[in-house]
Amino acid sequence: MHYAEKIFSYMQAPSLFIYNIMIKAFAKRVVSKSHFAFARLRKSGLWPDNYTYPFVLKAIACLGETQEGKKVHGFVLKTGLHLDTYVCNSLINMYAQLGKVEYFKLLFEEMPERDKVSWNVMITGYVRCRRFEDAVNVFWRMGVESNEKPDEATIVSTLSACTALKNLELGREIHDYVRSRLEFTPIISNALLDIMVSGYVNYGELDKARELFERVPTKDVVLWTAMVNGYVQYNRFDEAVALFQEMQVGRVRADKFTVVAILTGCAQLGALEQGKWTHGYIDEYGIQVDTVVGTALIEMYAKCGCIEKSLEIFNGLKEKDTASWTSIICGLAMNGKTSKALELFSEMRQVGLTPDDITFVAILSACSHGGLVEEGRWFFHSMREMYGIEPKLEHYGCLIDLLGRAGLLDEAEELIENIPNDNNENVVPLYGALLSACRIYGHVAMGERVAEKLMNIESSDSDVHMLLNIYASADRWGDSTKMRIKMKDVGVRKVPGCSSIEIGIVHEFLVGDASHPQMREICSILCRMIKPISLGLEEIGMVGED
């Protein structure tokens, strides 16, 4: 290419054929020079033809130069080549890549003739601009208004729109269309399976999705990621991690969306070792740690208790968005670093970023963990007054937790009573937080009121068990017995507690669950651990002889 460019620069009067060859070569290799070659062509007095413009337009689209694109469009109109289907398709594609929907839509509607490429580039353009319903509509129009038969590119682009719309039924309609009018090629079959798997995932039917997933002969990274993300989305984190490990055995290279999904799963499981391995994978395969990946890493390390590592990742990000700042503030809060969380919130505002509703959940949580009542009140009120953000239940929950920890139970109860609420079930977690505070401070009367409200709203909520502890703390055993009978009558059941530990893999345990294959050995070791602890407590008088 270097020698060709040098010879081209020495030529006194290149022919249009030579210009076209060089513009095409530049468009493929050195995009910016394609436009300069076109400018030289215009100055030479030669008229570009229908072979010249497509490559110039392609280069402009790659460079994202909208104004230059409009200028070249003007030249096309002057030469009358806007009636040429090949050139018009290139104009549509350019405007689609530049995100100018109205421009490429108008061009398409005014085309005197359309070929298969015209329809395909229009569908792809709408998908690129996230106008998925429009993309599907163009597909159906193609069958009605054109004699052109859809090909693989048509079907795959349309199915990608269906996937984005999370519309399983639409995917089935296109499946029926292909079955009745086209042939199932490997590419179309894979695309159809992709949409079906993604559709089942979006509907929460993960077992059906997995069954179809296993039937796909050649799984690409998009399909693997959809399945992993589905498990994460529906809190089946252990299965997400296992599938990711299976993906590595199959030597499928993960992309940034895969690692973000798996890091989210590791964060929820507290699977630090798997999270570290995933971080190493990111480094090894050169996956860019942008704001999306960086935020996932920050959250994973913070939830696994490695807040210093989270800070290291955060400080190393070249660009930080609101999500990045929110993630580190939340991580600092949950790890007891309240002062640092407030400091970073201040820095975030100084750099010109506007906090969103999730940021305020993080900062209110920090105030709650740090017992900063006045600061918490101020942040809560500033949401609406300074940023126009209406408080959600999560914000109320943080403030009620803060007030409850500080012993301001009357204020917390009044706050709940004044929340705009059409559905009483929405405030169940808030009453649960208040009931917990009643237990801590031994406020029996309020505990009874709150428990009564909880049972009236949702009889299955196990927070009512908290009242039993309140009665026990106040030595009101008779009331405790009566409450147990009442809870049994209304059908309240306590949700069993769950804990997990990562030793090679993640092991989960429920209260009273004896299904683990090594339960005998686990109990034996626990007994050996508890015995010396009990003896030590007896020696200092903290355990009775019975």
What is the secondary structure of 1-46 as a DSSP string?
Answer: -HHHHHHHHH-SS--HHHHHHHHHHHHHH-HHHHHHHHHHHHHTTP
Any idea which residue has 């208004």 for tokens? 145
Do 431 and 454 meet the contact criterion of CB atoms below 8 Å apart?
A: yes
Cα distance between residue 546 and residue 536, in whole Å: 15
Cα distance between residue 36 and residue 325, in whole Å: 43
pLDDT for the residue 514: 64
Cα distance between residue 229 and residue 237, in whole Å: 9
Q: What is the mean pLDDT of residues 320-349?
A: 94
Task: Say yes or no: 244 and 270 in one domain.
Answer: yes
Cα distance between residue 52 and residue 518, in whole Å: 72
Locate 510 and state its tokens. 């429920």
Q: Given a cut of 70, is residue 503 above it in pLDDT? A: no
Confidence label for 490 from pLDDT (cuts 50, 70 and 90)? low
Task: Say yes or no: 281 and 326 in one domain.
Answer: no
Task: Say yes or no: 238 and 333 in one domain.
Answer: no
pLDDT for the residue 34: 67
- Is residue 141 one of the residues assigned to a domain? no
- Is residue 176 one of the residues assigned to a domain? no
Q: Given a cut of 70, is residue 5 above it in pLDDT? A: no
Q: Given a cut of 70, is residue 468 above it in pLDDT? A: no
Do 212 and 206 meet the contact criterion of CB atoms below 8 Å apart?
A: no
Any idea which residue has 């949409």 for tokens? 195
Nearest residue to 49 via CA among 13, 12, 24: 24
Q: Which of 3-7, 318-322, 371-375 has the weakest average pLDDT? A: 3-7
Task: Say yes or no: 418 and 439 in one domain.
Answer: yes
Tell me if residue 193 falls in helix, strand or coil: helix
pLDDT in tens, 84-127: 898 999 999 999 989 999 999 999 999 989 999 999 999 999 99
pLDDT for the residue 451: 74
Task: Say yes or no: 469 and 414 in one domain.
Answer: yes
Q: Given a cut of 60, is residue 230 above it in pLDDT? A: yes
CATH number at residue 461: 1.25.40
Task: Say yes or no: 380 and 409 in one domain.
Answer: no
- Is residue 136 one of the residues assigned to a domain? no
Q: What is the mean pLDDT of residues 423-442?
A: 75
Backbone angle region of 512, left / alpha / beta, with phi > 0 → left and psi within -120 to 50 → alpha: left
Instruction: Tell me the pTM.
Output: 0.63
429 compared with 471, residue with greater pLDDT: 429
Domain termination residue (choose one: 478, 496, 514): 496
Confidence label for 213 from pLDDT (cuts 50, 70 and 90)? confident
- Is residue 71 one of the residues assigned to a domain? no
Domain range holding 282?
219-306
pLDDT for the residue 314: 96
Q: What is the mean pLDDT of residues 263-269?
A: 91
Helices (H) and strands (E) in the chain, counts: 30, 2
pLDDT for the residue 459: 47
33 compared with 285, residue with greater pLDDT: 285
- What are the backbone dihedrals phi and psi of residue 401, each rounded to the nearest 5 degrees, phi first? -60, -40
pLDDT for the residue 429: 78
pLDDT for the residue 472: 53
Task: Say yes or no: 464 and 374 in one domain.
Answer: no
Locate 418 and state its tokens. 């004044």
pLDDT for the residue 494: 52
Q: Given a cut of 80, is residue 453 above it in pLDDT? A: no
6 compared with 343, residue with greater pLDDT: 343
Cα distance between residue 412 and residue 94, in whole Å: 58
Q: Tell me 411's DSSP state.
A: H
**Average of per-residue pLDDT values in the chain:** 81
Which DSSP helix (H) or strand (E) runs through 137? helix 132-145
Q: What is the mean pLDDT of residues 434-443?
A: 80
Domain termination residue (choose one: 254, 284, 306): 306
- Is residue 227 one of the residues assigned to a domain? yes
Confidence label for 189 from pLDDT (cuts 50, 70 and 90)? confident
- Is residue 505 one of the residues assigned to a domain? no
317 compared with 9, residue with greater pLDDT: 317
How do the residues of the chain divide into helix, strand and coil, expressed in percent and rounded to 5? 75, 0, 25
Interhelix angle 132-145/152-165, nearest 10 degrees: 140
- Is residue 345 one of the residues assigned to a domain? yes
Q: Tell me 216's DSSP state.
A: -
- Is residue 3 one of the residues assigned to a domain? no
Task: Say yes or no: 356 and 413 in one domain.
Answer: no
Terminal CA-CA length for the chain = 91
Cα distance between residue 530 and residue 543, in whole Å: 13
Q: What is the mean pLDDT of residues 270-291?
A: 93
Selection from 66-75, 145-154, 194-203, 288-297 with the highest mean pLDDT: 288-297
Q: Given a cut of 50, is residue 545 above it in pLDDT? A: no
CB within 8 A of 489, min separation 6: which ones?
none
pLDDT in tens, 410-431: 999 898 888 876 555 577 778 7
Domain termination residue (choose one: 280, 306, 332): 306
Q: Quick one: what percent of the chain has pLDDT higher than 70? A: 77
Rg (CA), the chain: 32
333 compared with 493, residue with greater pLDDT: 333
Task: Say yes or no: 281 and 226 in one domain.
Answer: yes
DSSP string of 445-466, one letter each residue: HHHHHHHHHHHHH-TT-GGGHH
Task: Say yes or no: 404 and 378 in one domain.
Answer: no
pLDDT for the residue 137: 93
Locate 84 and state its tokens. 């040429």
CB count in 10 Å sphere of residue 241: 24
Q: What is the mean pLDDT of residues 143-149?
A: 87
Task: Say yes or no: 300 and 376 in one domain.
Answer: no
DSSP string of 259-308, one letter each residue: HHHHHHHHHHHT-HHHHHHHHHHHHHTT----HHHHHHHHHHHHHTT-HH
Q: How many domains does the chain have?
A: 3
178 compared with 511, residue with greater pLDDT: 178
Nearest residue to 361 via CA among 320, 402, 408: 402
pLDDT for the residue 460: 47
- What are the backbone dihedrals phi and psi of residue 389, each rounded to the nearest 5 degrees, phi first? -100, 120
Do 525 and 518 meet the contact criterion of CB atoms below 8 Å apart?
A: no
| Residue 120 CA: distances (Å) to CA of 117, 175, 180, 187 | 5, 18, 20, 16
Q: What is the mean pLDDT of residues 140-148?
A: 88
CB count in 10 Å sphere of residue 296: 27
Do 192 and 209 meet the contact criterion of CB atoms below 8 Å apart?
A: no
CB within 8 A of 394, min separation 6: which ones?
357, 361
Q: What is the mean pLDDT of residues 241-256?
A: 90
Task: Say yes or no: 485 and 430 in one domain.
Answer: yes
